[in-house]
């Protein structure tokens, strides 16, 4: 017998049992923590010796000192900087709002419609005109214009800061490595956690709302711009340099024009991110639709829902308008002659004259700054409120479905899991979570998890953080159960993908807080609305990332599997899903972060935990408590992000 034949007769090594691998170790650790829970339940809470009990008082004193010294006749350079920035932001929003109001409602409508008509075409212009009509019909013209002004101010500043930094990150690997952790932190932290530090530094008002929006809207502008610059073919850049172009000439004549579509995408995404923040900004003096939503949350939920719908309409109109303007002005899609340039200049002058004529007619006919005539708001509010009352009525069949579901979730899911996280001895929970993080993602995420848990305990937010973590885990499980199968379905079926797209668009543009209002009526159990609303908010991102990951799998391994006789299901389970693992894990990561954002906001409506501490800090001027809760949210977000992305980042660094 030859050596090759002898080797062929050897039995293949038996596969390693799952209980001897990483999964078995995680299960063993979990069992150990459960044993600690039942054996020493409520006996070892986080020790007071490891808590900085006076930190909240020091922060309150610091805030009082800021308030006392902010408006002195001769403030220090520290206050001059922040007062100057706050005053500039307030003035910018105020000027834009005043400008739109001075145009009258006729002129404002004409300005928005004709600008989009000139650069985006008649279909996009019709959508913008319909949006203005909807604001008037809803009786929300004034808050809509204020939100529009706030959005323009925030987007303009975000792009003014984000585009240059994105260009620099796209051209410098060293700067890219430096700025990436900063952008990660800005996107990991739920926007709700920004509020307390911003209020302390900028006080309450439109300026603080713009500052909060900037933190949330700048990262996508930087990331997408950097991606666009790096996506320019290197041979094109090398050719320009070989012909003697300087770095600035290469940037403005080659890289920026070729990255134009990505730059316009960054503008589009910055607008959507800014609009998603307007409700949160309403909590700290941001005027407009966000203020209507937050103030109506307790007193007039129907009005809050209608205002949320207005935000969605504005987001969709701006999204479609910017996309149309990007396509229509793309120089690769049109060839301009001297005659067409002259025609376009005349077209521009005609649109400008149309705006001027509309403003003149507005003043001539006595049109006010806002739409003050009859609206459909009373009828609309009655219809919305009747639906809310119907689903809350104990005699309806809907209540008999939703109420048992809510009670079941609390009794068998949220309640026991909260008790497990809160009442387990703190050493078992801390080191158990750190060990699980090590098994899932490696040493660095485990050390970061250990550090973040220590920060949470030191800030005296251990119980609230564990409560929030239990809600996040339950919501994440539901999000993945919904998002991953639907994402796979959308990747495998063009019809399903086409059907889901408009639904996902609406769900992604609806502000976070607006999700919670219907669930307050559907499932009036304090902790459940926030959890279910977070599932609805996070699932679209998971669906789209899973779909994109599976669709972008290389066709070669798929064709190889087909040639070996694999069925469609086998190809999906054995080839596509394993090769799309990074995209799926990114979907899990983003789902967890978005779940955390909504679960925290749900503290406004009874979910308690960290979100309640931040809300109470804002409403009752308990700034120290609010800041510590914000720090705990930050720590929790960083730990969850690093654990779910640790091995993916390691693979990226090795490639």
In angstroms, what CA-CA distances link 354 with 106, 107, 113, 360? 11, 9, 10, 10
Which pLDDT tens digit goes with each residue over 395-449? 877 777 777 887 787 887 788 888 888 888 888 888 988 888 888 888 888 898 8
pTM > 0.85: yes or no: no
Task: Give the three-state DSSP class for 243.
Answer: coil
For residue 332, what pLDDT is reported? Answer: 59
For residue 652, what pLDDT is reported? Answer: 52
**CA 272 to chain CA centroid, nearest Å:** 9
For residue 582, what pLDDT is reported? Answer: 76
Q: Answer whether residue 7 shows pLDDT above 50.
A: no
Residue 629 · residue 614 · CB < 8 Å: yes
Residue 512 · residue 391 · CB < 8 Å: no
Least confident range of 56-65, 425-434, 463-472, 490-499: 56-65
In angstroms, what CA-CA distances link 456 with 47, 196, 199, 359, 453? 12, 17, 22, 56, 5
Residue 512 · residue 279 · CB < 8 Å: yes
Least confident range of 309-313, 496-500, 645-649, 651-655: 651-655
Of 312, 186, 217, 188, which is closest to residue 594 (Cα–Cα)?
A: 188
For residue 276, what pLDDT is reported? Answer: 75
**Is pLDDT larger for residue 626 or for residue 447?**
447
For residue 130, what pLDDT is reported? Answer: 92
Longest dimension (CA), the chain: 105
* CB-based contacts of 606, cutoff 8 Å, min separation 6: 526, 527, 529
Q: What's the chain's average pLDDT?
A: 80
Q: Answer whether residue 135 shows pLDDT above 70.
A: yes
Which pLDDT tens digit goes with each residue over 441-473? 888 888 988 999 998 988 888 888 888 888 888
For residue 563, what pLDDT is reported? Answer: 83
For residue 337, what pLDDT is reported? Answer: 63
Which pLDDT tens digit goes with each residue over 527-570? 777 788 888 888 888 888 888 788 877 788 888 888 888 888 88
Task: Compute the distance between CA of residue 247 and CA of residue 523 in angstroms, rounded to an integer.
Answer: 60
For residue 195, what pLDDT is reported? Answer: 73
Which pLDDT tens digit goes with each residue over 190-217? 676 677 777 777 777 788 888 888 888 8
For residue 566, what pLDDT is reported? Answer: 80
Q: How confident is the model over 14-42, as a mean pLDDT?
A: 78
Residue 23 · residue 31 · CB < 8 Å: no
For residue 338, what pLDDT is reported? Answer: 65
Q: Answer whether residue 6 shows pLDDT above 50.
A: no
List helix spans (H) across 17-54: 22-39
- Residue 366, phi-psi category: left (phi > 0), alpha (psi -120 to 50), beta (remainder): left
Q: Answer whether residue 1 shows pLDDT above 50.
A: no
Other C-beta atoms lying within 10 Å of the C-beta of residue 134: 18
Q: How confident is the model over 91-110, as a mean pLDDT?
A: 87
Residue 369 · residue 105 · CB < 8 Å: yes
Q: How confident is the model over 53-63, as a mean pLDDT?
A: 79
In angstroms, what CA-CA distances link 420 with 42, 526, 600? 10, 19, 20
Q: Answer whether residue 19 shows pLDDT above 80.
A: no
Which pLDDT tens digit goes with each residue over 341-377? 777 778 778 888 888 888 888 787 777 777 777 788 8
Q: If you search the block for the tokens 């101010």, which residue do you land on?
A: 153
């Amino acid at each position: 017998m030859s050596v090759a034949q002898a080797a062929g007769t050897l039995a293949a090594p038996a596969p390693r049992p799952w209980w001897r691998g990483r999964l078995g170790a995680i299960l063993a650790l979990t069992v150990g923590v459960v044993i600690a829970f039942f054996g020493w339940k409520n006996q070892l809470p986080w020790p007071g010796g490891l808590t900085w009990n006076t930190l909240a008082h020091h922060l309150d004193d610091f805030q009082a000192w800021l308030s006392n010294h902010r408006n002195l006749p001769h403030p220090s350079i520290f206050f001059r900087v922040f007062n100057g920035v706050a005053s500039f932001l307030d003035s910018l929003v105020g000027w834009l709002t005043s400008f739109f109001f001075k145009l009258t409602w006729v002129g404002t409508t004409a300005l928005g419609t004709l600008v989009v008509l000139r650069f985006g075409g008649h279909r996009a212009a019709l959508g913008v005109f319909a949006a203005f009509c909807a604001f008037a019909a809803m009786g929300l013209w004034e808050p809509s214009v204020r939100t529009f002004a706030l959005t323009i101010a925030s987007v303009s500043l975000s792009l003014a800061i984000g585009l240059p930094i994105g260009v620099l990150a796209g051209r410098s690997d060293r700067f890219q490595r430096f700025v990436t952790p900063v952008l990660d932190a800005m996107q990991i932290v739920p926007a709700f956690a920004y509020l307390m530090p911003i209020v302390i530094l900028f006080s309450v008002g439109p300026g603080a709302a713009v500052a909060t929006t900037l933190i949330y809207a700048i990262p996508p502008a930087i990331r997408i711009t950097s991606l666009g610059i790096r996506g320019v073919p290197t041979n094109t850049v090398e050719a320009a340099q070989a012909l003697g172009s300087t770095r600035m000439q290469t940037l403005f004549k080659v890289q920026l024009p070729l990255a134009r579509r990505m730059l316009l995408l960054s503008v589009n995404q910055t607008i959507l991110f800014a609009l998603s923040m307007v409700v949160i900004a309403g909590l700290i003096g941001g005027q407009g639709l966000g203020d209507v939503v937050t103030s109506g949350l307790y007193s007039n939920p129907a009005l809050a829902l209608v205002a949320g719908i207005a935000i969605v309409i504005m987001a969709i109109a701006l999204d479609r308008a910017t996309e149309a303007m990007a396509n229509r002005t793309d120089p690769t899609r049109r060839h301009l002659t001297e005659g067409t340039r002259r025609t376009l200049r005349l077209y521009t002058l005609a649109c400008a004259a149309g705006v001027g004529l509309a403003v003149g007619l507005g003043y001539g006919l006595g049109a006010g700054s806002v739409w003050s005539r009859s609206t459909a708001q009373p009828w609309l509010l009655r219809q919305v409120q009747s639906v809310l009352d119907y689903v809350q009525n104990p005699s309806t069949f809907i209540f008999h479905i939703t109420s048992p579901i809510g009670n079941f979730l609390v009794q068998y899911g949220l309640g026991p899991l909260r008790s497990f996280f809160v009442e387990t001895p703190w050493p078992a929970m801390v080191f158990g979570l750190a060990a699980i993080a090590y098994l899932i993602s490696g040493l660095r995420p485990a050390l970061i998890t250990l550090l973040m848990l220590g920060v949470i305990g030191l800030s005296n937010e251990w119980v609230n953080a564990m409560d929030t973590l239990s809600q996040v885990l339950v919501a994440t499980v539901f999000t993945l159960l919904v998002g991953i199968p639907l994402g796979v379905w959308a990747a495998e079926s063009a019809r399903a993908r086409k059907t889901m797209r408009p639904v996902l668009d609406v769900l992604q543009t609806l502000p976070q807080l607006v999700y919670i209002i219907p669930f307050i009526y559907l499932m009036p159990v304090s902790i459940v609305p926030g959890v279910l609303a977070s599932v609805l908010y996070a699932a679209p991102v998971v669906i789209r990332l899973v779909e994109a990951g599976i669709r972008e799998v290389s066709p070669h391994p798929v064709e190889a599997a087909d040639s070996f006789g694999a069925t469609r299901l086998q190809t999906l389970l054995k080839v596509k899903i394993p090769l799309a693992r990074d995209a799926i894990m990114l979907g899990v990561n983003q789902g967890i972060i978005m779940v955390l954002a909504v679960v925290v906001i749900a503290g406004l409506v009874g979910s308690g935990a960290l979100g309640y501490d931040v809300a109470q800090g804002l409403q009752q001027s308990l700034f120290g408590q609010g800041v510590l809760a914000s720090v705990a949210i930050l720590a929790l977000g960083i730990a969850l992000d690093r654990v779910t992305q640790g091995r993916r980042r390691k693979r990226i660094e090795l490639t």
